[in-house]
Amino acid sequence: MPPITTIQDLKRLHERRVPRMFYDYAESGSWTEQTFRENTTDFEKIRLRQRVAVDMTGRSTASQMIGEDVAMPVALAPVGITGMQHADGEMKAARAAEKFGVPFTLSTMSINSIEEVAGFTTKPFWFQLYVMRDTDYISRLIQRAKDAKCSALVITLDLQILGQRHKDIKNGLSAPPKPTLKTLANLATKWAWGIEMLSAKRRDFGNIIGHVEGISDPKSLSTWAAESFDPSLDWNKVARLKEQWGGKVILKGILDAEDAKMALKVGADAIIVSNHGGRQLDGALSSIRALPSILDAVGDQVEVHLDSGIRSGQDVLKALAMGARGTYIGRAFIHGLGAMGQKGVTTALEVIHKELDTTMALCGETRVGDLGRHNLLVPEDFEGRWQA
Ligand SMILES: Cc1cc2nc3c(=O)[nH]c(=O)nc-3n(C[C@H](O)[C@H](O)[C@H](O)COP(=O)(O)O)c2cc1C
């Protein structure tokens, strides 16, 4: 096997190894996929200022996110059904993150449960909450995350209703996969994945099955989701959830300065500028393009993080230099996991770390905290002139 030097290399292996429905689930956006595409192409529009004859010794990418030490300000984003990309995927990704020294965020829609991930790791991880209609279930879920000593609650605000990804419908996405002819034909070519999956600790939704009354076998992700996400989630509910949690709260899915101000009002410890990796509102701005106006509105009062579109250390550097204090990767680590399990997640983190470190040096910086707009060449019309 040729050496792996980029996230793209891992993506190719991911596609080869994992059943089509789960690869497609990861590698798609909603409707026309415009926002999904622009999340990455907008990063390319920003250029870097090369600086020379700067002492580059003693560089460090170490930093902090919500007061926690991180080897680099790159957390693993919450990704649903990660345990279908690789057997016990959430446990393995969490362990890779812990060893590397970056935060891991467990999705509500994970395969491995909160307790399984806690039992497989030694440091606290972050728990991502989807707010469901069933308030008793949400209370129990919050209590479980507290019992597992999760150090932050990441409340996702941009999925009260599920954006449509055509491929998921066409592929009949479900966890575990339904034994249709098409699925079986594809699974026959993914035997290594199948053998590992046979010994997986779990193949259904660990935070849900056995914890929600009346749902013992969700027939498919979309049916369950359509019935369960709380469409009435509003800022009052967010404030109540924050109170119920009592610890650090990160609000995920902010793409507008007005919402960022509301997040500030409810006392968020951090916000994530995110469009859910282009999986929700197709036609929305890319995260990197939305970032400056949000920083203008709240950047000096709350920690602003960013995800959506990060595929390299250069992208991380651009987000940090634009003013984000932390970043998250979704697909970039999922490609690693699908390609090679825990080792693949470590490889993804190593690739991004090396790119970030080298790029930082060639920009003439030795500390991620010193990065700023002075390192970038941003097109004058980057944010665009839009009429509301
Ligand atoms: C396959 C997949 C599943 C996801 N599931 C969740 C989820 O369960 N909860 C959540 O808050 N975000 C979820 N997201 C969004 C990610 O947390 C993150 O915002 C996004 O992946 C960032 O974009 P990137 O993949 O371009 O890095 C998911 C993303 C992907 C790709």
Q: Hunting for tokens 């509910």 — which residue is that? A: 237
Q: For the domain 7-377, what is the CATH code?
A: 3.20.20.70
Kindly give the distance from the C-alpha atom of residue 51 to the centroid of ligand 1, in angstroms, as a whole number: 35
C-alpha of residue 365 to centroid of ligand 1, in Å: 30
Active site residue 14: no
CA distance 237 to 307: 24
- Provide the 8-state DSSP code for 164: P
C-alpha–C-alpha distance, residues 344 and 319, integer Å:
24
What is the rounded distance in angstroms from the CA atom of residue 90 to the CA atom of residue 170? 26
DSSP string, 180-201: -HHHHHHHTT-HHHHHHHHT-S
Q: CA 320, CA 370: separation in Å to the nearest integer? A: 9
Q: Domain locations in the chain?
A: 7-377
* Mean per-residue pLDDT pooled into runs of 10, the chain (388 residues): 94 98 97 98 98 97 98 98 97 98 98 98 98 94 98 97 93 86 90 94 89 66 72 97 98 98 98 98 98 97 98 99 98 98 98 98 98 98 90
Residue 326, beta-bridge partner list? 305
Residue whose CB lies within 8 A of the most ligand 1 atoms, among 279, 333, 352, for a mutation test? 279
Query: Ligand 1: which atom is nearest the Cα of residue 308?
Result: 23
Decide: helix, strand or coil at residue 329: strand
- Measured on CA atoms in the order 352, 18, 27, 305, is the torsion positive or negative? negative
Helix (H) or strand (E) holding 238: helix 235-245
Location of structure tokens 């080792």: 343
Closest protein CA for atom 6 of ligand 1: 79
- The pLDDT score that the predictor gives to residue 217 is 61
Residue in 36, 79, 250, 315 to alter for ligand 1 test, most ligand atoms within 8 A of Cβ: 79
Q: What is the pLDDT of residue 225?
A: 63
What is the residue whose two structure tokens read 């404030």? Answer: 239
Length of the chain in residues, anyone?
Answer: 388
pLDDT at 227: 79
- Nearest atom, ligand 1, residue 307 CA: 22
Q: What is the pLDDT of residue 6?
A: 98
- Give the phi and the psi of residue 296 in degrees, each rounded to 5: -60, -40
Ligand 1 centroid to Cα of residue 317, in Å, is: 20
| pLDDT for residue 219 | 59
Ligand 1, pocket residues at CB < 6 Å? 25-26, 39, 77-80, 107, 109, 128, 156, 252, 274, 276-277, 279, 307-310, 329-332
- Whole-angstrom Cα distance, residue 286 to residue 306? 11
State the amino acid at position 198 in one-letter form: L
Q: Atom of ligand 1 at shortest distance to CA of 128? A: 11
Distance (angstroms) between ligand 1 centre and the Cα of 276 equals 5
Q: What does the pLDDT read at residue 2?
A: 85
Q: How far apart are CA 77 and CA 332, in angstroms?
A: 10
- Tell me the whole-structure pTM to 2 decimals: 0.97
In the chain, how many H helices and how many E strands?
15, 12
What pLDDT score was predicted for residue 223?
A: 66
* pLDDT for position 218: 53
- Tell me which DSSP letter residue 253 carries: E
Q: Which of 14, 86, 276, 305 is catalytic?
A: 276
* pLDDT for the residue 257: 98
Token pair recorded at residue 381: 């019309």
Closest CA to 149 of 130, 125, 129, 120: 125
Protein residue with its CA nearest to atom 3 in ligand 1:
79
The protein residue with its alpha carbon nearest to ligand 1, atom 31, reads 26
Question: What is the whole-number distance in angstroms between the Cα of residue 281 and the centre of ligand 1?
Answer: 13
Residue ID of nearest Cα to ligand 1 atom 19: 276
- The rounded Å distance from CA 277 to ligand 1 centre is 6
